[in-house]
Structures are given as structure tokens and as C-alpha cells.
Amino acid sequence: MRFRRIGATAILLVVLAWLLASLTNGNGSTVAAADERLASTQAQLARIVAKNQGEVQKLDHATNNGFTADVSAFAQNTEHMRELLRRLQEDTAALSAAREQTLASVDKEIGSVADSEARSRLQGIRDEASRYTQERLQTARIIELDLMGALNRANDVLHATKALNLAVSLRSGGDALFARAMETRAALEQYKQHTNSLLSRLQLPTPSGS
């Protein structure tokens, strides 16, 4: 009898693991698929942010040497980041919806288990999975906020650099040119701080127990 109970519990645990990985929400999106899409978007974001940091170095160099800076690549990368923000928001919402639907289905299945020991073990697995996905969602939302801050600073960088370029092209007075250069450098420094913070958060969390 004891052997049969252990065997039944093992089967139930396998079934719960399958449910957590494969149940879909109303739009046909599994938690695993939604999490994979979110991770892919975050990886793309990490690459484009790192790429734009290289453009920031070029703008910084131009500012230091008093000549006009080409902002086209920086502007293009920034626009790409805006698109990735939209995708991040969509992916996060999809993961949240899939998580809630899956947990509701899992709770229903656990509630139908008569064996109290098996039900307790299943509840523990359910809670661990719930905590992990909640942490993923929290991290994703913090990344969104960091990205919004970086994009706001990128706008400052673009306008400050264009203003400096105009000042350089007009060869205005030394004091005015110096002031524009300092404004641009301040904008660049704030942008770098925001994107460094963003990149640090784009290190995806490791699942509990791994």
C-alpha cells in the first residue's frame, strides 16, 4: 500500500510539472513560450543598448574635441530601443496572463486530489513555480522602468548634441560653446548611468534551486 501511494504521488508530481510547463491562457500562449519570448526580447535589448553605448563614446569624443558629432546611428539605435520597449510591455503582459491562467488551472487540479500528502507536495511545487514567475515579472517591470528612463535621457542626448553641433558650426563665442559642450556631456553621462543600470538588470535570474 505504501509503495502504491508513493507511486501515485510521483505520477501526480509529473502531471503537475507538465501542467506548469504546457497549460495555455485564453490566447493559446503557454507560460514557457511567453517566458521564452520575454527572454528573447530582453536579450535583443541588451545587445542594442550595448551597441548604443559605443555610439555614446563617439559622441563623447566629439564633445571633448569640439567638432560636430554624427547622431544618426545613436538616433537609429534609440528608435530600436523604443520598439523593444513596446515589445517588452507586450511580452510581460502575455507572461502575466499565462501565469494567472496556469495557476488557476493548477489550483483546480490540486483541489481534486484526495490524498492529503500528495496534495501538500503538489502545493509546494505550485508555490515554488509561482514565486519564480512572479520574480520574472517583477524584474521585467523594473527593466521597463529603467528603459523608459534611458530613453528619456537619450532624447536629452540627441537634442543637446544637435544644439552643440549648431554652436560648433556657427563658431559662436567660446563661453557659449563651452556651455553647450557641458550640457551635452551631462546628458551623455546621465544616459550612460541609466543604460549601465539597465544592462545590469538584463542578466536574467536563475530559477530557484538550480
Locate 100 and state its grid cell: 494567472
CB atoms under 10 Å from CB of 166, counted, come to 12
Helices (H), the chain: 2-22, 31-65, 72-111, 116-170, 174-201
pLDDT digits 0-9 by tens, 101-155? 989 988 988 888 888 888 888 888 888 888 888 998 998 999 999 899 889 888 8
Q: How far is it, in rounded angstroms, from Cα 77 to Cα 57?
A: 14
Q: Is 180 a member of any domain?
A: yes
Nearest CA-CA partner of 69 in 181, 176, 171, 210 = 181
Predicted TM-score (pTM) of the model is 0.72
Q: Is 70 a member of any domain?
A: yes
- pLDDT at position 94: 94
Q: How confident is the model at residue 191 (pLDDT cuts 50, 70, 90)?
A: confident
pLDDT digits 0-9 by tens, 5-42? 445 555 555 555 555 554 444 444 688 899 899 999 99
Query: Domain of 64: which CATH number?
Result: 1.20.1420
Q: What's the domain count of the chain?
A: 1
Q: How far is it, in rounded angstroms, from Cα 133 to Cα 113?
A: 24
Which domain range does residue 93 map to?
A: 2-201
Q: Is 210 a member of any domain?
A: no
CB atoms under 10 Å from CB of 104, counted, come to 11
Contact (CB, 8 A) for 44 and 88:
no
Q: Is 155 a member of any domain?
A: yes
